[in-house]
Amino acid sequence: MPVNVRADVTPNPNAMKFTTDQVLFEGSGSASFKKSDDTDHPLAKELLALDGVDNIFGFQDFVTVNKEPDAEWDALVPKVQEAIEKVYG
């Protein structure tokens, strides 16, 4: 079953929240990753490999993606959605 992904703006212009209908991050705690991290988390790996992504924060069914200042959301949002669908779709 494909994953549904909704992108929402946040008060921070360099961050967007992506909410899904599936659990992205297991457990009761949150997870944060930055470009320099070496992680085995499949979604974190996919998102941090995208040009323009600086870091991510995830909790249960959502991930907040922080972009680099010169990156454009118009180009990045579809790539983030594709990465989520690739891992969880």
pLDDT one-digit tens code per residue, 26-81 = 888 899 999 988 999 999 999 999 999 999 999 999 999 999 999 999 999 999 99
What CA–CA distance (Å, rounded) separates 70 from 85? 25
Q: What is the pLDDT of residue 20?
A: 97
